[in-house]
Chains A and B, each alone.
Chain A
């Protein structure tokens, strides 16, 4: 019999074994994390605090040997620190010695990391109070604001047709995204795909592909497609379409993963095939969430469409970019007002519709 081993193990025993294995695993992670944190702290200390703040260098020197040396030092420091079980990472994984040394170590190091990160962020951003409130700066702000508050109504007709183009572009991208997203979301839902190895492999690959596609902003997709199909609304539409499919597939499949399993089991028990089970037990449970996500996506796509225009995706964004390039702030003012209005209306409508659905 296959199960003799499983039979003789006490549940408690099994639990403790799992725990032990997990602890060992976590300790490896803790060592790696400690090494990384020490490395991070040392690099910031050297490059930001020493070179930038103390020596005030313009060009920070860069060299692999030096970096390697810092890395080796951090490996030694981080690992030995983790092995004393008083480090920050061992505390995070709850593998620490529970004493005052750990407490001080963790507190001081965590503060150091936070402060270093904050200072580095400040330096990198080139924050300057002087620039914000200099006479020249104030004068510039004055010019642009006064122009923007006197929008040039002369271009209203052009702007109106551009913004309509934007809304339709977003609408088409959303509509076209529905069928592929609907189909693909069943293949990226864990509960439907986990049964056998082949389907699970498909699930896994699809997830990776979609995560990748999703992590690329629509703006970048628009750049890609404007080279592919030429600058204009079509490029913008495809960019939004691609991003919508990848983003909504995730939301859709999460909805599928959250369904009640009972009806599925009942359908399986009648001898229905896979497609029938999905159609009768899964689909009725997910139409409303799907509809709601899709409307929300249209709302998002309208905002995105205005931005996408900036890189040649057509619509109001392209127009905005042209006037901004010419420094015609009165025209820019009108366009900004119109975008704000449309986004606000879309936001309101989509919220209302989603409320009505649920």
Chain B
């Protein structure tokens, strides 16, 4: 099992109880989609999984290791193995696209080299390859904030691909956990789906099995499904 969550709770300092006992498992190579209304706890869940947040209680096991409360060097090691693409990109706006992509690999570079921005030819090669993969190689020298929203999202994906170049992931294949809103996309890509509502899992299973009734439970009575193809 790649990832195993048991009875995960997250209470923010403000008192919001954002996750209320979430448990599930993820196998290697899965494409797990998390759905739910805004505020249902999707981002909180994802941030707990890659340990940008520390869960209040419960456990997270990642590749057989309990990472629920790891700190310092160990935590950085966890971050290094899980790449994250943010909804609002979170690029460093004033730096070039290329530099932004390279930052995905900082963890494997020495502090001195990275502060002097002395990167080896292989790093550049990987960065260009990542940019080719997302189809914006020609924008490499431009400043990140000069790109359109969609292009910035591609840069963010390229940045996460830099982490993917790490050998470990290559051998195991890529596992994806992702938050989506369009059910048609969920049906097309997801191998499994989890629906959250008010911090708890209310549906877990095959995306094809989500029928009208489930849809109403997840999104509320008034919601209507929008098709995109």
A and B found bound together:
yes
Knowing A2-B57, A280-B106 are in contact, say whether A270-B52 is a contact too (CB < 8 A). Answer: no
Which secondary structure characterizes the binding site on chain B? mixed
A55 contacts partner chain B, Cβ-Cβ < 8 Å: no
The answer to whether the Cβ of A98 comes within 8 Å of any Cβ in the partner chain is: no
* A-contacting residues, B13-57, CB 8 Å: 15-17, 20, 50, 52, 56-57
Decide: A262 and B88 in contact? CB cutoff 8 A.
yes
Q: Could you mark each residue 43-82 of chain B with 1 if its beta carbon is under 8 Å from any beta carbon of chain A, else 0?
A: 0000000101000110000000000000000001111111
Interface 9-mer from B91-99, B119-127, B170-178, B185-193: B91-99
1/0 contact trace for A254-297 toward B, CB 8 Å? 00000000110111111111011001110011010000000000
B15 touches A11 (CB 8 A): yes
Cα A281 to Cα B144 with chains together (Å): 13
A9 within 8 A of B: yes
Residues of the A chain whose Cβ atoms lie less than 8 Å from the Cβ of B93: 263, 284-285
The yes or no answer to B136 lying at the interface (CB within 8 A) is no
A272 B17 Cβ-Cβ under 8 A: no
Q: Which residue of chain A is the closest to B103 with respect to CB atoms?
A: A280
Q: A270-B79, A276-B106, A280-B103 are in contact. Are A7 and B94 (CB under 8 A)?
A: no
> What 0/1 pattern do residues 136 to 178 of B give for CB contact below 8 A with A?
0000000000000000000010010011000000000000000
A interface residues, tally (CB under 8 Å): 27
Are the C-beta atoms of B84 and A269 separated by less than 8 Å?
yes
**Given A11-B16, A262-B86, A280-B95: A271 and B79 within 8 A (CB)?**
yes
Smallest CB–CB gap between A41 and chain B, Å? 42
Judge if B11 is at the interface, Cβ distance under 8 Å.
Answer: yes
Task: Give the contacting residue for A275; candidates B50, B78, B92, B115; CB below 8 A.
Answer: B115
Whether B90 sits at the interface, judged by CB under 8 Å, is: yes
Shortest B167–chain A CB gap in Å is 15
Given A269-B50, A269-B52, A6 contacting B106 (CB threshold 8 A): no
Interface residues in B205-229 by Cβ distance below 8 A to A read: none
Cross-interface CB contact of A270 among B9, B57, B80, B89, cutoff 8 Å: B80
Is there contact, CB below 8 Å, between A268 and B52? yes
Interface centre among A262, A268, A270 (most CB of B within 10 A): A270
Partner of A272, one of B11, B50, B95, B107: B107
Q: In the complex, how many angstroms separate the beta carbon of B200 from the nearest chain A beta carbon?
A: 12
B contacts with A, residue count (CB < 8 A) = 42
Contact yes or no, B79 A281, CB < 8 A? no
Q: A357 interface residue, CB < 8 Å from B?
A: no
Closest to B94 in A: A284
| Given A270-B104, A271-B80, CB of A284 within 8 Å of CB of B95 | yes
> Is the CB–CB distance between A279 and B115 below 8 Å?
yes
Contact pick for A276, options B86, B115, B159, CB 8 Å: B115
**A3: contacting residue among B9, B79, B109, B162, CB under 8 A:** B9
Minimum CB–CB distance for B50 against chain A, Å: 6
Whether B114 sits at the interface, judged by CB under 8 Å, is: yes
Q: Which residues of A contact B109 (CB under 8 A)?
A: 276
User: In the complex, A270→B81 CA distance in Å?
Assistant: 8
| CA gap between A1 and B86 in the complex, in Å | 31
Tell whether A14 is near chain B: CB-to-CB under 8 Å: yes
| Residues of chain B with a CB closer than 8 A to A284's CB | 92-95
Which residues does chain B contribute within 8 Å of A281, judged by CB atoms? 92
Cβ-defined contact, A266 with B80, below 8 A: no
Per the bound structure, the CA–CA distance linking A9 and B104 in Å amounts to 41
What residues of chain B lie closer than 8 Å to A287, measured between beta carbons? 94
Q: Are A9 and B15 in contact (CB under 8 A)?
A: yes
Chain A contact residues, CB within 8 Å of chain B: 1-3, 6-7, 9, 11, 14, 262-263, 265-273, 275-276, 279-281, 284-285, 287
Closest 3 CB pairs of A and B: A271-B80, A271-B107, A262-B90
Can you show 17 pairs from A to B with CB atoms below 8 A apart?
Answer: A1-B9, A7-B11, A263-B90, A266-B159, A267-B103, A268-B79, A269-B82, A269-B84, A271-B77, A271-B81, A272-B76, A275-B111, A276-B106, A276-B111, A284-B92, A284-B93, A285-B93
